């Protein structure tokens, strides 16, 4: 029996699930982006056009996630001893940059149109088609966010989770779009600046989401330690294992969805090598049971009470 086979099967299943969910998102975004841009043009709403462009940007991230999933879940090899998870982290960072670029573009356009309105330029009132499309978009993107995030957490994929939040940002943007369109329609000509203002507010939400995603990715790319809560839980597992007298030199980091943990355990100096190995294996298995997938490197040394 090949001990690696179950792990390979899990990886293949994760890739299948990830691609299936992401392709659903791709075709949903394709339909929404076309319909929203058309509704914005026909319905005379710059906010809806901006919202449609935001949905179109999701197509890029969906394709990126599909392409990276297979590569990031490849087994470790001679050139990547800890696997290829950093590829997924890097793509998450690229998604964040693309999201920020889209947000900045929408912000500039919305502010320019709002300023032009106050300088005397007229803005046409949006119509019902734009308002209806905003409601459809909110419902569709919120469903897509929940659907994608559930799958992302099931297969431990940061790139998919980033993409899920991209869907959520689109739902938020459609909510702001709905408010702007409704205000411009029902409050009279003097309030039609709410439509481009809504587009600008949408952009702020998009940029904020992008910054959060980028910060998380950069931390991992710079080899930041695991969150303090996870590290503390792992420390408790080590100390609670029978036979472990103490530990030190604890280090941790992430490689995509895989945690990498290194530490030394101190054991009774009179036990056999086999017993020491069994204790180390128990520690390793306990950590992997609670924090999977994980690479655990344990160095064993004799315990010497401090004087």
DSSP class of 246: E
Task: Assess whether pLDDT exceeds 70 at residue 72.
Answer: no
- Same-domain status, 173 and 244: no
Of 35-44, 46-55, 109-118, 133-142, the range with the lowest mean pLDDT is: 46-55
pLDDT for 3 equals 45
Task: Assess whether pLDDT exceeds 70 at residue 272.
Answer: yes
Question: In whole numbers, what is the pLDDT of the chain averaged over residues?
Answer: 81
Task: Assess whether pLDDT exceeds 50 at residue 2.
Answer: no
Angstrom CA distances, 168 to 15, 99, 171, 291, stand at 22, 12, 5, 27
Query: Of 221, 249, 273, at which residue does a domain stop?
Result: 221
pLDDT for 249 equals 92
Give the pLDDT confidence of 81-95 residue by residue, as tens digits.
Answer: 555 567 777 877 887
Residue 215: inside a domain = yes
Of 176-180, 193-197, 202-206, 224-228, the range with the lowest mean pLDDT is: 202-206
Residue 51: inside a domain = yes
Q: Are 66 and 21 in contact (CB under 8 A)?
A: no
What's the rounded Cα separation, in Å, for the pair 175 and 187?
18
Beta bridge partners of 248: 264
Give the pLDDT confidence of 289-303 residue by residue, as tens digits.
Answer: 888 778 899 999 999
Of 40-44, 130-134, 208-212, the range with the lowest mean pLDDT is: 208-212
- Same-domain status, 261 and 168: no
Residue 307: inside a domain = no
Coil, helix or strand at residue 256? coil
Q: What is the dihedral of CA 92, 284, 288, 81, to 10 degrees?
A: 30
Structure tokens at 177: 């779009």
pTM over 0.75: no
- Same-domain status, 195 and 269: no
Query: Of 205, 221, 237, at which residue does a domain stop?
Result: 221
Query: Which residue range(s) make up the domain with 258?
Result: 228-302
Of 8-22, 110-124, 152-166, 191-205, the range with the lowest mean pLDDT is: 8-22
Task: Assess whether pLDDT exceeds 90 at residue 275.
Answer: yes
Max mean pLDDT among 55-59, 71-75, 101-105, 157-161 falls in 101-105
Query: Of 194, 221, 248, at which residue does a domain stop?
Result: 221
Q: Are 259 and 252 in contact (CB under 8 A)?
A: yes
The total of structural domains in the chain comes to 2
pLDDT for 5 equals 47
Residues whose CB falls within 8 Å of the CB of residue 47, separated by 6 or more in sequence, listed in order: 40, 110, 126, 130, 176, 177, 180, 181, 195, 196, 198, 199, 202
- Same-domain status, 217 and 136: yes
Q: In the predicted model, what is the mean pLDDT of residues 147-170? A: 79
Q: In the predicted model, what is the mean pLDDT of residues 245-254? A: 91
E strand spans, the chain: 244-255, 258-267, 294-302
Task: Assess whether pLDDT exceeds 70 at residue 4.
Answer: no
Of 43-47, 83-87, 90-94, 239-243, the range with the lowest mean pLDDT is: 83-87
- Same-domain status, 65 and 164: yes
pLDDT range class, residue 241, cuts 50, 70, 90: very high
Task: Assess whether pLDDT exceeds 70 at residue 125.
Answer: yes
Q: Are 83 and 7 in contact (CB under 8 A)?
A: no
pLDDT for 296 equals 92
Of 33-42, 64-73, 182-191, 199-208, the range with the lowest mean pLDDT is: 64-73
């Amino acid at each position: 029996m090949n001990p690696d086979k179950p792990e390979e099967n899990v990886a293949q299943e994760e890739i299948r699930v990830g691609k299936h969910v992401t392709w659903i998102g791709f075709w949903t975004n394709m339909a929404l982006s076309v319909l929203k841009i058309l509704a914005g043009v026909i319905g005379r709403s710059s906010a809806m056009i901006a919202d449609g462009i935001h949905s179109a940007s999701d197509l890029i991230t969906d394709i990126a996630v599909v392409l990276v999933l297979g590569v990031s879940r490849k087994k470790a090899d001679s050139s990547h001893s800890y696997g290829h998870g950093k590829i997924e982290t890097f793509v998450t960072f690229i998604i964040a940059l693309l999201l920020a670029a889209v947000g900045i573009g929408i912000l500039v356009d919305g502010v320019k149109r709002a300023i032009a309105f106050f300088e005397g330029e007229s803005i046409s009132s949006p119509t019902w088609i734009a308002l209806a499309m905003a409601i459809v978009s909110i419902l569709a993107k919120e469903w897509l966010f929940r659907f994608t995030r559930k799958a992302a957490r099931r297969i431990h994929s940061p790139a998919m989770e980033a993409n899920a939040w991209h869907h959520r940002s689109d739902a938020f943007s459609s909510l702001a779009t709905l408010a702007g369109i409704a205000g411009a329609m029902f409050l009279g000509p003097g309030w039609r600046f709410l439509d481009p203002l809504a587009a600008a507010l949408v952009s702020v939400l998009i940029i904020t989401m992008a910054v959060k995603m980028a910060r998380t990715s950069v931390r991992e790319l710079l080899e930041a330690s695991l969150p303090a809560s996870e590290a503390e839980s792992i420390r408790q597992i080590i100390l609670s294992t029978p036979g472990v007298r103490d530990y030190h030199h604890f280090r941790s980091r992430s490689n995509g969805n895989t945690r990498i943990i290194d530490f030394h355990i101190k054991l009774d100096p009179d036990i056999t090598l086999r017993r020491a190995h069994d204790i180390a294996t128990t520690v390793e298995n306990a950590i992997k049971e609670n924090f999977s997938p994980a690479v655990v490197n344990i160095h064993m040394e004799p315990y010497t009470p401090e004087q």
